Structure formats: structure tokens, C-alpha cells
A and B are shown apart, each in its own frame.
Chain A
């Protein structure tokens, strides 16, 4: 994998430092993970998201956990994450609001035809509004069809960059700028929907457990390569809309866990489990 990306001779001197760092010390072809953070040039280092944004933390950890960033194409959607996606050093496509799983489906199928002998990971990463509200149709149908893509929801429980409207993932009674009387129905149980819709692997975690999050991202992507659709839900609190201090993001997750309102969870089908075991066995040999 060494020398995966090469700058044409004569242009090294004019390449911005960021690209030299990505070529010389990026994660491409290195199989890095969360444990290696701080030792390599990250795929997302600067972004325009708010201070203390849980979603930014989740994105950073997801990107650090991609098993093969050089062969990964990410599909995003409208929302806070799309503001940071523009600076991510991985191929990514911004879809129309809610279309992300339909776009990812076409992309995965096209890549299979274009690169039949190569593994290309297609990873959808979108907010809760795009995933559970506006795009639920496309999301669920990609699961019904057993498309081999990974869907990651950055769950900040609100439409956060349009002033703070409630989403399907907001907790019941949540009060937001644009939901002043409180949300009238409970948070949608999308992990349960994912299980029932045919996902081979479903996980719920948060950036408060970075290593676990990293492991779950890798599992979700590896299983999607061979077995079937996978879904990962990352609880990523929003200080701006939920009115807490930017340094309290981790604290908010812990409080939620202690109160029993947030639980880390994993579901895996026997087929996916067998695939992982086989893979692990192969690694040992």
C-alpha cells in the first residue's frame, strides 16, 4: 500500500501542506483505528461545527475507524454533518435531503460493476432528520432489499442547523426553539425497525465510548461488505439546541446512561457473527 497516492514530479513544492501530510502520514492503506488517533494526519481535522458538537466527535471517530478509507465512498445528506463533510478527505457525495440510501444503493451497485474485483465500502452518514424522518422510506427500502451498505445515523435529536425543530429522534417532551410546547410522541425505535427490516448488524453507541464506537463502525462496515445491510446509531448531543455548555457533551451522555434513557446496544445475526468469526480466524492464520 506504500505510495498509494503519488504527486506528479515537479509539483511537490506547490502542493499545500495538508495534501503532503495526507500523502506522507495519512491513514490510507494503513488499517488505523481509534487507538492510533494523534499519530497520523486525520481525514477531518478542521470543521465549521459548533464548539462541543457531539456530532463532530462522532464523525471524527467514524472517520478514524474506516477499515479502508482509500476505498470508501461516503454518502451524506442535508444537515449539520454536511457542513463538515466538505472538508473530509474521503470520497463523499452529498445527496438531496433524505435520498442518501437510494444514492448509496445505486453507487454500490455501480461500483460492483465498475470494480468487480475490488472491495468498495459505501457508508451512509446522515443526521436523524435525514435518516428517520425525511429519508425513512429510502432507508428502510435499502434494508428490505438487503443492499450491502452501512447506514450511520448521527443522532443529535433535532434539526439542529435550521433553528432547532424536533425530529423523530427527539425524546418525548423535549422542548426546542421551534418546538416550544414539547414533543408529543416518543423517540422512534429505529434500531428495532432496522432489526425487523433485515439488517445483519445493528448498533447503538456514543462518542463517550470511543473504542467501542470504533469497533462497532468496523464491524458494521465489514459485515456490510459480505453479509447485508448494517445500521449504527450514534447518540451525539447538541449543545447549541439543547442549551448546555460545550464542555458538557460527554457529561450529558453519561447522565442519559445513568438515567437509563440511553443504552449501548448491539444486535448481530448468526450469519454475520459467523462471518466475523471466520474473518478473525483468517487474521490469526
Chain B
């Protein structure tokens, strides 16, 4: 499938109510594909772009959600371990999203992120590239849109389902293996002389 939209999903701040990328005709990728800034590309290309963005970031940060933070079913631990390994190889910080309670005004943006006001955590920690992994789709969607609306953070969503058009880069059907492929891409780039930002 070819993306027909000319709308680019780029870092903001885009304003208080940025349009949902889907309403701008950005389509979700099919299996084996990824989405880079609103354009559908082969998954390999998207993986390389993720590796490049993570390595060029000043303060890359992973936001693991409840689907990987809690060992709630078989297979979760493998994915969680793979995500942790990727964060370690990149040298990224990990700030968890353990649940979706708004908790406002009690949120401590230094150590947690909340989908209802993710901008607080991004502003507080000066995060320039973030990775969502293990966040339920409906909360990832709202958080990604808020981040695009109010911050200049570059967003990457590693989705276990169909991907997120509101992220700047997204992969779909992400399993532990997919995350390990990103880790390999990062390692290869590092070996090729690319240095972390």
C-alpha cells in the first residue's frame, strides 16, 4: 500500500490541538512495513531510521508501558528484557508508565510518565527522542498526539498491534525478535562509527 498523504508527522510543538494523523490521511502500515514521518516504508528501513534517531539523540528515553512492565502473561518477560537491552545499548534512560491513572497533580515527572499529560515528563527531563513500548494503543494514541502538540520530542512507537500513525516512526506487530533487530541495527551503526548523541 502506498501512503497518499502529503502530511508529515514531524516533531512539534504543533499547537494545542494537532490533528490526528489519521484525519490527515496518514495510513497505518501493512505487515512487514513501518511508518516514518507519515510515509509507509519497508520495516527494515524504519528499523534503521529508529537506530539512527536513537543514536543521534541527546537524551533518548524509553517509556515502557504496563504491557511490558508487568509480567502478566507468558512472553512478556522476553519482550521486556529485549526492550531493556535495547535501551542499555543505546544508553537511553527508562521512565516507566506503570498504569494510566491521571494522578494529576501528584505525578512526579522525573520518575514516571502518564499518558494524560506526557508533556510534563518530556519537558522536565528535556527528552528529545522517546520510545513507546508496551503501551495500550488507545493511551499511546492520546499521548503521542499530546507530545506532538506541545513538545519538540521525536516519538517512536513500537507497537504490538497495528502501529501508530501519530508517532514519527512506528513499527507494527512488534515482538521481542523485532526489538532485537533494532538492537542489532544500533550495534552495527555503532561499530560503523556512529556515536551516541
Q: Do A and B bind each other?
A: yes
* B113 vs chain A, min Cβ distance (A): 10
Q: Does A1 contact B (CB under 8 A)?
A: no
Q: Does B195 contact A (CB under 8 A)?
A: no
Q: Does B76 contact A (CB under 8 A)?
A: yes
Task: Determine if B94 and A86 form an interchain contact, defined as CB atoms under 8 angstroms apart.
Answer: no
Chain B contact-residue range equals: 20 to 34
Q: Does A16 contact B (CB under 8 A)?
A: yes
Question: Could you tell me the distance between the alpha carbons of A15 and B96 in the complex, rounded to whole angstroms?
Answer: 6
* B179 vs chain A, min Cβ distance (A): 13
| Contact status of A10 and B80, CB under 8 A, knowing A15-B98, A86-B102 | yes
Residue of A nearest to B108 (CB): A16
* A21 vs chain B, min Cβ distance (A): 12
Residue of B nearest to A46 (CB): B106
Task: Determine if B94 and A11 form an interchain contact, defined as CB atoms under 8 angstroms apart.
Answer: yes
Question: Could you tell me the distance between the alpha carbons of A136 and B81 in the complex, rounded to whole angstroms?
Answer: 50
Residue of B nearest to A8 (CB): B80
Q: Does A19 contact B (CB under 8 A)?
A: yes
Task: Determine if B95 and A14 form an interchain contact, defined as CB atoms under 8 angstroms apart.
Answer: yes
Looking at B2-10, B17-25, B36-44, B62-70, the stretch in contact with chain A turns out to be B62-70
Question: Could you tell me the distance between the alpha carbons of A86 and B117 in the complex, rounded to whole angstroms?
Answer: 13
- Contact flags A207-230 to B (C-beta < 8 A → 1, else 0): 000000000000000000000000
Q: Does A282 contact B (CB under 8 A)?
A: no
Question: Could you tell me the distance between the alpha carbons of A213 and B71 in the complex, rounded to whole angstroms?
Answer: 35
Which B positions have Cβ atoms within 8 angstroms of A? Answer: 64, 68-72, 76-77, 80-81, 84, 94-96, 98-99, 101-106, 108, 111-112
